[in-house]
Amino acid sequence: MNTQVTIAGVTLRNPVMTASGTFGSGMEYGEFVDLNKLGAVVTKGVASVPWPGNPTPRVAEVYGGMLNAIGLQNPGIDVFLERDIPFLKQYHTRIIVNVCGKTVEDYVEVVERLKDAPVDMLEINVSCPNVKEGAIAFGQKADALFGITSEIKKHAGQPVIMKLSPNVTDIAEMARAAEAAGADAVSLINTITGMKIDIHRRTFALANKTGGMSGPAIKPVALRMVYQAANAVKIPVIGMGGISTAEDAIEFLLAGASAVSVGAANFHNPYVTEEIIKGIEDYMKTYGIEDIREMIGAVK
């Protein structure tokens, strides 16, 4: 039985990865899951310099999910190269580094610094809804996305995954813009912008007022967008958004995702990634599926 998938020439032992920002660089969840078993670890976004992130409260629960407005707090690329990459290199999993920035130059600087680092792929975050500059500004207009993608491709030493925002009118158009600019893959969805109000205190639940919604409640929206993107482009699509069971992950594969990421579900169940991997294998056995690639996009 084959569970391997290949994205932009990089082979993953299985299609299950972690969603950026929910798993740090794997250190914390390494106490719960065997990182060697994961298809890939996608790191928390890293910028050229340390970012302090937003004030608290940064997280709030909503029905069937959560809002977050962390604001891409990160220690900067220097510490990341010294600490996080060597940590992940101890494991036989693929390393995908999520890159964030405020300007094109910021992104390019991080990408350049990672050029000779032992990382397998880059995921470019142009879709974080919680920072004022950069990030999502590049991810909501097709021409801006095309521009930053082509610039990053000029400097990148590894395959480039553009992480798309769901907060757009036409996801297919965005996926096509990334592909046309040379992206090796796209991943989606990032969180959906949302809000919660504390009616007793008459304040916003998050200090940032708005936040990105994730969790099981967003899964149908994510699945629809992954299907649309997968049908719009030839490059691989990595699907995510509310995946918390093997059944959820299988839906995304059938809709056209070549791999999937698990995010907020880690907060509810720190063992969930391994359970999903096992559940996909069980499904393949049940239905006599020899090669996981038969499942990708099988529902037209």
At closest approach, how far in Å is the CB of 26 from other proteins? 9
- Using omega within 30 degrees of 0 as the cis cutoff, is the peptide bond preceding 15 cis? no
- Closer CB to other proteins, residue 171 or residue 264? 264
The question of whether 100 is a catalytic residue gets the answer no
| Closer by beta carbon to other proteins, 263 or else 279 | 263
Nearer to other proteins, 70 or 250 (CB): 70
| Joined tokens for residue 276 | 């999903």
User: Which residues make up the interface to other proteins (CB under 8 A)?
Assistant: 21-24, 27-29, 31-32, 44, 50-53, 56-61, 63-66, 68, 70, 73, 75-76, 79, 215-216, 264-271
Q: Which is nearer to other proteins, 159 or 194 (CB)?
A: 194
In the complex, the smallest distance separating the C-beta of residue 238 from other proteins, rounded to whole angstroms, is: 20
Tell me how far apart the terminal alpha carbons of the chain are, to the nearest angstrom: 24
Strand partners, 2: 291
Query: Could you tell me how many residues make up the chain?
Result: 300
**Residue type (1 letter), 172:** A
Nearby residues of 288 by Cβ (< 8 Å), 6 or more positions away: none
Per annotation, catalytic residue among 16, 128, 156, 295 = 128
Rounded to a whole number of angstroms, the minimum distance from the CB of residue 122 to other proteins is 21
CB of 56 to other proteins, least distance (A): 6
Q: Which residue, 42, 75, 77, 73, is CA-closest to 58?
A: 73
- The residues pairing with 46 across neighbouring beta strands, listed in sequence order, are 99
For the CB of residue 44, give the shortest distance to other proteins in the complex, in Å: 8
Q: Are 114 and 76 in contact (CB under 8 A)?
A: no
Q: Which is nearer to other proteins, 28 or 170 (CB)?
A: 28
Q: What are phi and psi of 48, to 5 degrees?
A: -70, -30
Which residues are known to be catalytic? 128
